[in-house]
Structure 1
Amino acid sequence: MGQKPSRQLKLDAILEGVGVDQASWRDPALPGDASINIDWYIEQARLAESAKFDLVFIVDSPFITPDTAPHFLNRLEPLTLLSAVAVATSRIGLVGTLTTSYWEPYNVARQFGSLDHISKGRAGWNVVTTGLEGAARNYGREEHFDHKVRYARAAEFVDVVRGLWDSYEDDAFPRDKAAGIFLDKAKQHPLNHKGEHFAVAGPLALSRSRQGQPVIFQAGESDEGRNLGARIADAVFAASDSFEAGQAYYTDLKARAAALGRDPDLITVLPGLSPVIADTDEEAQAIVAAQQEAFDIGKLLVQLGRAFNYHDFRQYPLDAPFPDLTGVTLNSYKGHVERIIRTARKENLTLREAAYRFGTWRTTFIGSPETIADEIERWFVGRAADGFNLRVSRPRDFALFCERVVPILQERGLFRRDYEHDTLRGHLGLPVPENRWSAAARPELIAAE
């Protein structure tokens, strides 16, 4: 399907342990403790690395209920997990989620900076503001931050973290044993930040890594979320459930970035990918049909309600129109819940239909390996995606993708046959950010100010 493009497809493996649906954990080939089993994570990361994936990704959220999906109920903390994976791999990027609503910039800068050193330049931070309102009570607050406040706080938070990552110029440590000089003190810089949400003196007790700074990832559907991504992100996770929605998001996000003076080609857009693969398209469709028949509608309603801060949809008639949620707080996953409500109204969905639509990860990637590769190429060439986040839970599905789909993408010239770089920035085609203090010292910059 066409000539080799000038850009290359990016692939990310989301390691979901026992799964974020209510059925994956029952797969006989999946360890029942996969979400807390470091050996499982290392095995999947090594498989992704052998298939030349760009990165593995660990999601996180600081709030659960008894009805929460299996993986969320009992899982390892991302930074601890990725530090173990770092020493068991050598090339693949390592991206984890930490919230700006319930952490402090100094801690986050130190933790991701440490992972960047441990991995020799393969770390990435997925910046989130936390959608679930119940998280507030786990951090000494009675109420969750307002949606707009969360995003304003996040923007300042990232600015502070990036400033802390530049605390030392790259040649600040001569380590001259003969002269007894360990540090060139003139090249250590405090931050002295005082803003609306944070006051951080610095400097951070950690130098920059081989890739300069960890890569910044972000995901947000709302207007505020897209603006934040356009401003701060090197890559964004997109919630696009159709080719047309993918194109619209891609165009919008890159236009926002360009309006801010950024090069839109340096922002990687990564929608989710949950393929159903079989030898033939007919067999894959039969698998989907069987899965749908096995869905528990009660559990789908719980998953639907999670986006609404676990609102209980079981109280409404299943085959009546999607309920009027006037009075229900939307201060959670705002962009996502607004899309659910908008779609339900536009298409006159019943609650049952909405649960099947939004209570599972919807996929249009169904068929033989060739069909899956065709659809991936269509999204990529059609500028609906720069790459994809592949869900990894059921062992068979991930193995099939690596063994049968990736070689087709490689044969078509869409995806690498081998790594050309050993840092995450290198994989994503991102430049190493210049240290702000080194740049400020250059005479031509001083003269231009």
Structure 2
Amino acid sequence: MKLGAFLMAPGHHPASWRHPSAAADLGANFKEYVKLAKAAESAKFDLLFLDDTVAVKDTSKDVGARLSRSAFFEPFTLLSGLAAVTERIGLVGTVSTTFNEPYNLARKFASLDLISSGRAGWNVVTSNNEEEAANFSSQKHLAHEKRYERAEEFMDVVLGLWHSFEDDAFLYDKSSGIYFQHDKMHVLDHSGQHYSVRGPLNVARSPQGHTVVVQAGASEPGRELAARTAEIVFAAQNSMEEARAFYSDMKGRVAKYGRTEDDMLILPGVLPIPGRTRAEAEDKFAELQQLIDLKVAISQLSHMIGNFDLSAFPPDGPLPEIPEANGNKSRQQLLVGMARRENLSIAELARRTAGGRGHWLVVGTASDIADQMEERFKGGAADGFNVLPATLPGGLEDFISMVVPELQRRGLFRTDYEGATLREHLGLKRPIAPWRQ
């Protein structure tokens, strides 16, 4: 079982920052991030995972001032700092293809990969909220399909640039004066519909070949992009049936791109609330739920359901008809389906989804949580999990002290690292460069 630690500041529950034990200032506290990274590494997690958005989603006094996700570190900067204080754990950052250029992104991740000795991963996303577009001279986002069309070409350019130099290209031979072997440099010369990039990348090849590619989109275009390029797929399904169906679908798509099922790992998100007893775990969750501001929960739901403002509708009334999202289509379908199926009001859906933000929420003892993780892992629904601590540092500490030992006792999770690079942790093969095929 592979495990990621998704360190969203200051925790995944929207009221996490209000909890007495929470590091409310985590988004501006590097020293606290260092403690979290070292704790996850001591527990032998495969990777740390950082999300990102390039906007403050709500600037209003009424709601925005109550949102904890208003200020946090830029992923490259934070991960570069964490690379210097860790040795083995993988470092995965989210960076959008929508508001970046392929060359700059390829260069930054290649540099992080070298700084960390082969532990970098890129979570590929296309931006999905209008607040981000407004920060980049755009009034509105490109249509969903157009964003993924650009993302496909963006990925081709980045992957091509990462193969600019062969492993042994650089000689640094002082006596001969040869810095690198010219015949082991490969110029990309890409010219496409959206990008024209000559190359080569001015960064040497990584110890793991190139940065591990992660993808989180579950729409049809997102699934196809993942099937062709992703080595990890971060997913969000609540039921076993949904998780198994997604797993089967994704694994079934890779063959047409010349890949095997082992070339791609599916790591669904899980938000665990562990306790020494079930009652203690339920009390922990209830305490967090009581701290939720309903306006904040509805604002979060509005973003998740397709950036559709629900604040104008009666909170005790039913979910209105929601126009098709130009953002996260799969999350919209999940939430609308839940509301219709269970006849939930806007307030009920907002509170229900606030805790896990649409992800799988598991409340119980370490044994309860391990049972359900094992069921999905062995039942063809997951290759591991991206763990979403409800609060930080407490939620991660509880999972490490309670659930990790139980998984290890069952032989489901490692007791020590066996490799040095992120690829080695995950059992992923080193990529074959185009010039060797």
TM-score (norm 1): 0.91
Query: Judging changes above 3 Å, is the alpha-carbon distance between structure 1 residues 345 and 32 closer, same or farther for their aligned structure 2 residues?
Result: closer
Distance 1:189 1:121 in 2: 21
Question: Within 2, Cα distance between the matches of 1:27 and 1:357?
Answer: 18
Q: Does 1:352 align with 2:347?
A: yes
2: distance between equivalents of 1:90 and 1:339? 38
Relative to structure 1, is the Cα distance of residues 387 and 71 closer, same or farther in structure 2, using a 3 angstrom cutoff? farther
Partner of 1:430: 428
Letter in 1 for 2:108: Q
Distance (Å, rounded) in 2 between the aligned partners of 1:351 and 1:27: 25
1:26 partnered with 2:24: no
Distance in 2 between residues matched to 1:277 and 1:74, nearest whole Å: 28
Aligned to 2:37: 45
CA offset at residue 133 of structure 1?
2.4
Aligned partners of 1:19 and 1:70 also within 8 Å: no
Alignment partner, residue 203 of structure 1: 200
1:384/1:47 CA distance change after superposition, 3 Å: same
Instruction: Please state if 1:80 is matched with 2:82.
Output: no
Alignment match, 1:395 = 393
How far did 1:37 drift? Answer: 1.1
Q: 1:187-336 residue pairs with structure 2 within 5 A?
A: 187-308=184-305, 310-326=307-323, 330-336=325-331
- What is the RMSD computed on CA atoms of the aligned residues? 1.7
- Whether 2:371 is the aligned partner of 1:374: answer yes
Write out aligned runs for 1:54-65 (5 A): 54-64=46-56, 65=58
Distance, in Å, in 1 between the alignment partners of 2:316 and 2:18 is: 29
Is 1:149 equivalent to 2:141 in the alignment? no
How many Å apart are 1:273 and its aligned residue?
1.4
- For residues 105-152 of structure 1, what are the alpha-carbon distances to aligned partners after superposition, in whole Å with 9 as ceiling and x for unaligned? 000000000000000000000000011122112111222111001111
Moved more, 252-261 or 100-109: 252-261
Query: Partner amino acid for 1:429?
Result: G
Supply the AA of the counterpart residue of 2:15: A
Please tell me whether the aligned partners of residues 155 and 232 of structure 1 are also in contact (alpha carbons under 8 angstroms): no
Do the aligned residues in 2 keep the contact of 1:27 with 1:394 (CA within 8 Å)? no
CA distance in 1, matches of 2:395, 2:407: 17
Matched, 1:15 2:10: no
Segment of structure 1 superposing worse, 118-127 or 350-359: 350-359
Number of positions where the alignment pairs a residue of Structure 1 with one of Structure 2:
429
Conserved 8 A contact 2:9-2:69: no
Structure 2 Cα separation of the partners of residues 134 and 293 of structure 1: 29
Kindly provide the amino acid, as one letter, of the partner of residue 385 in structure 1. A
1:121 aligns with 2:113: no
Q: Alignment partner of 1:314: what SS?
A: coil
The AA in structure 2 aligned to 1:26 is R
Query: Which stretch has the larger CA shift, 76-85 or 274-283?
Result: 274-283
Q: CA deviation at 1:86?
A: 0.2
Query: For 1:337 and 1:309, how far apart are their aligned partners in 2?
Result: 6
Distance 1:364 1:31, change over 3 A: closer
Distance 2:375 2:130 in 1: 38
2 CA distance for matches of 1:72 and 1:258? 39
- Mean Cα deviation higher: 362-371 or 248-257: 362-371
**Rounded Cα–Cα distance in structure 2 between residues aligned with 1:285 and 1:363:** 16
Deviations 1:370-400 (A, max 9, x none): 1111111111111211111112333222112
Give 1:298 deviation, angstroms. 1.7
Task: Give the partner amino acid of 2:301.
Answer: L
- Of 428-437 and 119-128, deviating more is 428-437
TM-score by length of 2: 0.94
Contact 1:21 1:70 survives alignment (8 Å): no
Query: Take 1:289 and 1:203, find their aligned partners in 2: how far apart are those partners?
Result: 54
For residues 288 and 391 of structure 1, what CA distance do their matches in structure 2 show? 14
Please identify, of 77-86 and 408-417, the stretch whose mean Cα deviation from structure 2 is larger. Answer: 408-417
One-letter identity of the residue aligned with 2:376: W
Structure 1's 198 and 71: CA in aligned 2 closer, same or farther, altered over 3 A? farther
2:418 to 400, 417, 420: 420
Please state if 1:167 is matched with 2:164.
yes
Report the Cα distance in structure 1 between the residues aligned to 2:274 and 2:296, rounded to whole angstroms.
25
> Distance between the aligned counterparts of 1:12 and 1:71, measured in 2?
22
| Counterpart contact for 1:100–1:128, Cα < 8 Å | yes
Q: Distance in 2 between matches of 1:211 and 1:138?
A: 35
Q: Any stretches of 5+ residues in structure 2 without a counterpart?
A: none
Write the deviation string for residues 217-258 of structure 1: whole angstroms up to 9, x where unpaired.
000121111111111100011011222211111111111123
